[in-house]
Amino acid sequence: MPIKQLSGLDASFLFLETPEMPMHVGAMHLLELPKGFRGRYVNALRRLYAARMPATPALRRRLWWMPLNLANPAWVDAEPDLSYHIVEHQLPSPKKGSPPPDARTLLEEAVSQLHSHLLDRSKPLWRMHVIEGLPRSARGCKQVGVLSQVHHAAVDGQAAVALGNVLFDTTPERREIEIRPSKRSKTFRIGMVEMLRGALGNEASQVVRLVRELPAALGTVAGTARGALSPRKLLGKGSGNVTLAPATPMNVSVTPARAFASASVPLSDLKALARVHGATLNDLVLMLCAGALRSYLLQHQQLPRKSLVAAVPISLRPAGDTRSDNQASMSLISLGTHLADPGKRLAHICTASSAMKTTMGRMKSILPTDFPSIGIPWLMQAAASLYGKARVADRLPQVANVVISNVPGPQVPIYLAGARVLANCPTSIVVHGLALNITVQSFDAHMDFGLMADAAALPDVKVMALALDAAWEELRVLPVPGLKALPTASASPSPRKAKLALQAPAARKVSRARRNSGVKADGSAGRSR
C-alpha cells in the first residue's frame, strides 16, 4: 500500500514544536444556546462531530512515524475517541458581592490557560474545549465557549476555514451532508521495509523535481533580490519591506505561558472605509494593527524610531483547493509605526503592501511547500531545542516584529450544534523572536481579532486589544482624500462630495455596554471589548 507522507512544510510544524512553542491553531467561539435548551452542550457537540466525522479527513487521521524518525511521518486513518477530543470545563462561580466578568473576558482567560497544552501525538491532532459557567446573553439565553485546537501540521488558515464549512451550519437546524464511505480499512498495517521503501521513493522524486526546477527558480530569485537586498534597505534607510526589524518587547525567546485577548470591529464600516480611502481590506487590517502597536509601545516608552515590520502569511493555494494541508509562505510588510500622522501611515502601508504583492507575484510560483526530508527531523528538532534553550532570539536581530494574518471567513450568521456563534476570534502560534501573533478573520457582520502573546513578554496583551479600539476610532475619523470635510447638516454638498459622504461610515461613538455585548440578538455587529 502506498503511503502519503507529510509535506516538508506540514512536517516542519511538528519538528519545530517544543513545550515553549505549541504548534496548534484554532479559534475562540462564544456561543448562544437556543431558548429552552436542555442537557449538556458537550453531548450535542459530540453528536454533531460523530455525524460529520466521515466528511472531515483532517480529524480522523493520526501520525505514523518513520523508522528512527529518518524522514517525515505519514497520515493514516484513525477513529477519534470523542470523549477525549471534545471535553468540558466548568468555570468557578463568581464570588458573592462582586460583579461577574463579561463572557468575553472569561473566555480569554480560559484560552490563555488551555492554549499552552500540547496535543497528544499518539492521537488525531485536534481537541475541542467546551467552557461552561459563562453569564447569560442579553436575551437571557445560556452561553458557552468553545476553544478549537488543530495542529498546524494538519491545516493552514484556509484549510481550517474549509473544515469549518463542514462542521458549521447557516441555520440552527443541522443540514444533511453527503457522506462518501472511505475505501480504506479502519486499521492500518505496514512493515518497516515497506515504510522505508515508500519514504525513499518519495525522497528520490523530490530530489528529481528540485533539480529540474532549480535553474528557473534561481533566475527568479536573482531577479527579485536585485535591488531589494541592498545595504541601504537592510539598514532600514529605504522604503522597502526587506529590512531588519527594530528591537521591541515582542522580539524575545518565548516561554510556555500564553496570554490571549480579542477585539472586533464592524465589517461593513471597515469595507466602506477601504472604498473611500482607495485601500484594500487587508491594508486597513494592517493599519489597525499598526495603530494599536504604536499606541501600546508609546505607553510603555518603547516605540522604536524605525518602523515595525510584520510577517504576513501568503496563501499559495489554488482557487477551489480545500485539501487539509499547508500551502502558504511568509512575506514582510513595513507598518509605518514611526509615522505619527495616521494618513501618512496608511499611505505607507498601502505602498508597502503593493510592493509585497509585486514581489510575491514573481516568487509565488517557485516557493516550495515540499522538499526532501531524509535527516531533516533530527536537524530541525535539535535546532529548535538549541535555539530556545540558548535564547538566541534575545541576541540576534529579527526580520519581523509581529505576525499578522488575515483569513477570510463566513460573512453570514453561523451555528454550531444548534448554537449561534456570536464571536469567532482566531488563536494562533507564537515562536521564539515573535512573541505576538495577531490573526484576523471576517465573520458575520464583524471582523474578529485574536491576539496571542507570550505571557512573559506581553502579560498585558489586553491593553493592546483595547488599543485596537483607539486605532479604530482614529481610522474612522481619518480625512478622506479629496474630501476636505464631511458636510454638516446646514451645508449643501456637491453631488460628488455627497456621494463620498454617503459611502463613509457614520462616526458614531460605541458605548462601553455595547462593546461588552458582542453581537446583538438581531445579528448586527457590536464592539466586543
Give the per-residue pLDDT at 164: 86
Q: How confident is the model at residue 213 (pLDDT cuts 50, 70, 90)?
A: very low
Q: Are 353 and 286 in contact (CB under 8 A)?
A: yes
Q: Is the pLDDT of residue 520 over 60?
A: no
- Reply yes or no on whether 446 is catalytic: no
- Tell how strand 143-151 and strand 126-132 pair up: antiparallel
Tell me which of 24, 115, 151, 152 is the catalytic residue. Answer: 152
Residue ranges covered by each domain of the chain: 231-368+394-406+427-481
Q: What are phi and psi of 404, to 5 degrees?
A: -130, 120
**CA 446, CA 444: separation in Å to the nearest integer?**
6
424-431 average pLDDT score: 95
Q: What are phi and psi of 437, to 5 degrees?
A: -125, 125
- Tell how strand 436-443 and strand 402-407 pair up: parallel
Q: What is the pTM of this model?
A: 0.79
Q: At what angle do helices 495-503 and 267-277 cross, to 10 degrees?
A: 140
Q: What is the pLDDT of residues 325-365, one digit of tens each?
A: 555 567 899 999 999 999 999 999 999 988 877 765 554 44
Q: Is the pLDDT of residue 121 over 80?
A: yes
3-state DSSP: the chain helix, strand, coil percent, rounded to 5? Answer: 35, 20, 45
**CA 115, CA 451: separation in Å to the nearest integer?**
12
Q: What is the pLDDT of residues 69-79, one digit of tens each?
A: 777 888 888 99
Q: How confident is the model at residue 407 (pLDDT cuts 50, 70, 90)?
A: confident
Q: Are 387 and 432 in contact (CB under 8 A)?
A: yes
Name the most confidently modeled range: 60-74, 235-249, 473-487: 60-74
**Bigger pLDDT: 484 or 308?**
308
397-419 average pLDDT score: 92
Q: Which CATH superfamily is domain 231-368+394-406+427-481 in?
A: Nonribosomal peptide synthetase, condensation domain (3.30.559.30)
Joined together, the cell numbers standing for residue 210 give 528540485
**What does pLDDT average to over the chain?**
79
- How many residues belong to the chain? 529
- Tell how strand 126-132 and strand 86-90 pair up: parallel
Displacement of CA 278 from its chain's centroid (Å): 25
Of the chain, the percentage scoring pLDDT greater than 70 comes to 70
